[in-house]
Structure 1
Amino acid sequence: MVLPVTAVLDIGKTNVKLSLVDQRGRVVHEARTPNTVLEAAPYPQHDVERIWTWFLGALAEAGTEQGWQVRAIVPVTHGATAVLLKGDALALPVLDYECERPYAEAREYEVARPLFSESLSPSLPNGLNLGRQLYWQQQQWPQEFGAATTVLMYAQYWAWRLCGVAASEVTSLGCHTDLWNPKRGDFSSMVDKQGWRHLFPPLRAAGDVLGTIHPHLAAQTGLPADCQVVCGIHDSNASLLRYLGADAPTVISTGTWVIVAAPGFAPERLGELDAGADMLANVSAFGQPVACQRFMGGREFAELAGEQIEEGDQYDLQRVISQGSMALPTFSPHGGPFQRRIGKLVGPPLAGGRERYALASLYCALVTDHCLSRLGSRGPIVIEGSFTANRLYAGLLAWLRPEQRVMVSDDSSGTVHGGWLLTGQGATGELPWEAVAPLELPAARMYARLWRELVDAGQ
């Protein structure tokens, strides 16, 4: 029996996944591979050819071995990445946003970039502002940049490779790029000043079908000739998609980045966002500004927990709290509410991997709680993504936010479900989640108060 499915190509900063989703929204098959960065000339770059080869092979294998029939493909990718094309070829390699050189070598970019009041994009390190990447490439390689015919955001690059139709899309354009004016719903003033507007293809909605898969790719993978290719979406906006509505909860999208999105943040208050604390407005799939704050929580968790993860429990957490061991921000150089601080451990050393796991969970919960307070979060909170498996993190948040109901999505990869929703097979009102009971932790309240005092004092 042949079962129709949607293929979601989910390119995160750490891993690349192929997920096959059935007509009821269930993931029936998943394959993954590390997302490696090539340390090559002229700068660190995304290995797009390796991803492409792996993806096509994974598609073919899934269809051959399992008998699923892919009816649509949806690209979902991390932000801060664009592809410069010269015709059908790369004009320049696809720059890795963690490369430091765009920041170090394009200091004058701070004069060229639009004001925060226009873009709602804070000034971020390395290449996290996509406009900084393009500006640097234009200055360093003027001949190659000048020969470029198209700029594609990362999700739309993969859609283009699959079907040959070039498009632009607002969730990636509006993701701290400096390229977009969220309040006007148009490109920022810098795009016109730099002469870039003509490079961007026409805007399409994230869920638009751009076309069908190239015939030669259908033959290579065994996909049907009429398999549709959907425009695609930025990953944290995919996680947010099913919660958008009249009473939208605060959504915590977790993975390499922890992004706290508050759709209920009043549009007239967008001017209150603090650029220096990595507060910004992303743009939803419906083109609306969404107030957010973020930190590189997945990376910081890994730094604190260590390479060999040993999952701790509530008793390990209680020992960490009782002895007063603390992690003070920050353990990633990439943005966050406490950027430019150097993370440090204070108090007695930890006994082993289980306590490191507990401390990492506690640290991430405290920083998330800080972000929720800065955004004025009220009402329900939903945790999406990889941290849904960490019950210490969820229970701590429920304890830290006693006046709010904290829930964990049943989907450890909300990006995949959001990508599937773009095909129109599901309803955004379907919200399967599990309420979280707060952890009971003697002495924890005093611990949290001391942590906040130290952080507020700049320790």
Structure 2
Amino acid sequence: MKKVIAVFDIGKTNKKFFLFDENYKKVYQEYLVIDEIQDEDGFPTEDLNKLQKWLKTSVDKILETNRFDVRAINFSTYGASFVHLDADGNVLTPLYNYLKPLPEKIADTFDTDYDQTTISQVTGSPEAGMLNSGMQLYWLKRTRPELFKTIKYSLHFPQYLSFLFTGKPVAEFTSIGCHTALWDYKKREYHNWTIEEGLTKKFPDILPATKSYSFDYGDKKIKIGTGIHDSSAALIPYMLSEKKPFILISTGTWSITLNPFSVNALSSNDIENNCLNYLTVQGKPVRATRFFLGKEYGLQVKKLAAIFDKSKTYHKRIKFDFGLYQKLKQKTHRFFKFDEIRIDSHTEFSNQDLTIFNSFEEAYHQLMLELVTIQVKTIRLAIGNSKIKKIYIDGGFVDNDIFIKLVALNFPELKVRTTKSPLGSALGAAMVISEKEIEKNFLKSHYKMRKLKVPLE
């Protein structure tokens, strides 16, 4: 039987189950979409019952086939989500959606009790309501105090999935550090406000994501990982493969720029510009920035398709035109009114008449110029004072010829590489609990790495 590591990669929409062989090659995959249910307030939330049944069924099915020798199981999930357990390990509440609005009264109470600005800076967590998962516990304590008292453990989502298989409650650095407002990056421990509120009493001991337990599963012993936050998991293959300082731009609905080589604490200006911290599996800070690239892009492309009478997918075939770039870069004002992205109010804005462009292609190039202008600002903010040598770009926008070439043009002093692997988070979760070292050309062989050179004309 082929020796494999099993990984559950749980996104908001798609639930994925992978098997990786000893060389980190995918040998099996399974996808599932689970419809959301509603919490007690009618807000969409994860269907935990269906999810956990699928987890156990998927593992049992693989073991019964006798095709694979499952040596380990690990979990990668989205962050900022808690599962609250009582003393018997029973789930007490829905898995509250991090998009659920935090009541204004609760936010005001927190601002009265604590210095929000200082906490945001020290915890590397710009104020973001429920997306700061610590605020979910603060909200529960203020609105449902009796329920809060019955909570024995509050587990971040990846660690809850691990708990389903091990029965062992653990906390883990990458989940604690993802914009939770829980972690004091200066003291390298939970922030004082969480201690004062009694939140840390709900948290089990912290274990690194490299830690695993050996458990009897049926008639065989399998290593079970602690679970890991998906963005942090996606960074692992790069950190194991690349020795020189780099940043990773992970593109999709959100564009997240990760810099694991920064040594500077976040300033108040950083926080105001939506700069934040993550934690590596070793508990070291990762400087990061984010903006709603994919969401905004989708909205604007839809508008352009309607104006120029093009199909919904027409934009996918457009390649970078250096002549158009030279023409458009002379313009000093914006033409696109963004719906989801906050723009510097000092930037001059035109009258939004997109029909002044001669073609879809010209308007599309202008759109990408404006989006990449924002992207460049977030990249420079993420780099800070770090001596970065290389930029890796992965995710959905690696297929956007204009996007990647505009990024390269803005950073001629750095090596720019695009990589392509839909398995990034899952692969990182497999690698973090594997004892096998990776070969020197791992990114080239697994990630379809491509070099970009400038000048591009």
**TM-score, scaled to structure 2:** 0.81
**Which deviates more, 17-26 or 50-59?**
50-59
- The residue type equivalent to 1:22 in the other structure is D
RMSD (Å) for aligned C-alpha atoms: 3.5
Offset, 1:348: 1.9
Q: Which residue of 2 aligns with 1:288?
A: 284
Taking a change above 3 Å as real, the CA distance of residues 99 and 345 of structure 1, as seen in their structure-2 partners, is farther
Q: Which residue of 1 aligns with 2:340?
A: 332
Q: Which residue of 2 aligns with 1:411?
A: 421
Post-superposition CA distance 1:372-401 (Å, at most 9, x none) = 122336310112334334444322221222
Q: Which residue of 2 aligns with 1:129?
A: 132
Which runs of 5 or more structure 2 residues have no equivalent in the other structure? Answer: 303-310
Residue 382 in structure 1 maps to residue 392 in structure 2: yes
**Count of matched residue pairs:** 427
Residue 348 in structure 1 maps to residue 330 in structure 2: no
Q: Which residue of 2 aligns with 1:448?
A: none
The structure whose Rg is larger is 2
Alignment partners' CA distance in 2, 1:203 and 1:249: 28
Verify the 8 A CA contact 1:317 1:359 in the aligned structure 2: no
Residue 118 in structure 1 maps to residue 122 in structure 2: yes
Percent identity, aligned pairs only, is: 24
Post-superposition CA distance 1:223-252 (Å, at most 9, x none) = x63122101111111122233375231111
Q: Which residue of 2 aligns with 1:95?
A: 96
Residue 160 in structure 1 maps to residue 163 in structure 2: yes
**Which deviates more, 91-100 or 322-331?**
322-331
**Which deviates more, 153-162 or 382-391?**
382-391
**Which deviates more, 17-26 or 237-246?**
237-246
Taking a change above 3 Å as real, the CA distance of residues 394 and 345 of structure 1, as seen in their structure-2 partners, is farther
Q: Which residue of 1 aligns with 2:263?
A: 266
Q: Which residue of 2 aligns with 1:18?
A: 17
Matches within 5 A, 1:116-195: 116-124=120-128, 126-195=129-198
Verify the 8 A CA contact 2:34 2:50 in the aligned structure 1: no
Residue 30 in structure 1 maps to residue 29 in structure 2: yes
Verify the 8 A CA contact 2:19 2:27 in the aligned structure 1: yes
Verify the 8 A CA contact 1:150 1:201 in the aligned structure 2: yes
Taking a change above 3 Å as real, the CA distance of residues 101 and 410 of structure 1, as seen in their structure-2 partners, is closer
Q: Aligned to 2:430, what secondary structure does the other structure show?
A: helix
Alignment partners' CA distance in 2, 1:74 and 1:435: 30
Verify the 8 A CA contact 1:304 1:359 in the aligned structure 2: no
**TM-score, scaled to structure 1:** 0.81
Offset, 1:206: 0.6
Alignment partners' CA distance in 1, 2:46 and 2:351: 33
- The residue type equivalent to 2:220 in the other structure is A
Q: Which residue of 1 aligns with 2:372?
A: 365
Taking a change above 3 Å as real, the CA distance of residues 225 and 412 of structure 1, as seen in their structure-2 partners, is same
Taking a change above 3 Å as real, the CA distance of residues 15 and 329 of structure 1, as seen in their structure-2 partners, is farther
Verify the 8 A CA contact 1:23 1:425 in the aligned structure 2: no
Q: Aligned to 2:427, what secondary structure does the other structure show?
A: helix
Alignment partners' CA distance in 1, 2:401 and 2:454: 10
- The residue type equivalent to 1:28 in the other structure is V
Offset, 1:421: 1.2
Q: Which residue of 2 aligns with 1:301?
A: 297
Residue 437 in structure 1 maps to residue 437 in structure 2: no
Q: Which residue of 2 aligns with 1:252?
A: 249
Offset, 1:288: 0.8
**Which deviates more, 48-57 or 310-319?**
310-319
Q: Which residue of 1 aligns with 2:51?
A: 51
Verify the 8 A CA contact 1:74 1:419 in the aligned structure 2: yes
**Which deviates more, 240-249 or 75-84?**
240-249
Alignment partners' CA distance in 1, 2:368 and 2:34: 24
Verify the 8 A CA contact 2:37 2:47 in the aligned structure 1: yes
Which runs of 5 or more structure 1 residues have no equivalent in the other structure? Answer: 219-223, 443-459
Taking a change above 3 Å as real, the CA distance of residues 318 and 78 of structure 1, as seen in their structure-2 partners, is farther
Alignment partners' CA distance in 2, 1:371 and 1:175: 18
Verify the 8 A CA contact 2:137 2:199 in the aligned structure 1: no
Residue 69 in structure 1 maps to residue 76 in structure 2: no
Offset, 1:354: 8.2
Taking a change above 3 Å as real, the CA distance of residues 308 and 103 of structure 1, as seen in their structure-2 partners, is farther
Alignment partners' CA distance in 2, 1:403 and 1:363: 21
Taking a change above 3 Å as real, the CA distance of residues 338 and 92 of structure 1, as seen in their structure-2 partners, is farther
Post-superposition CA distance 1:426-445 (Å, at most 9, x none) = 44674414243258778xxx
Verify the 8 A CA contact 1:78 1:235 in the aligned structure 2: yes
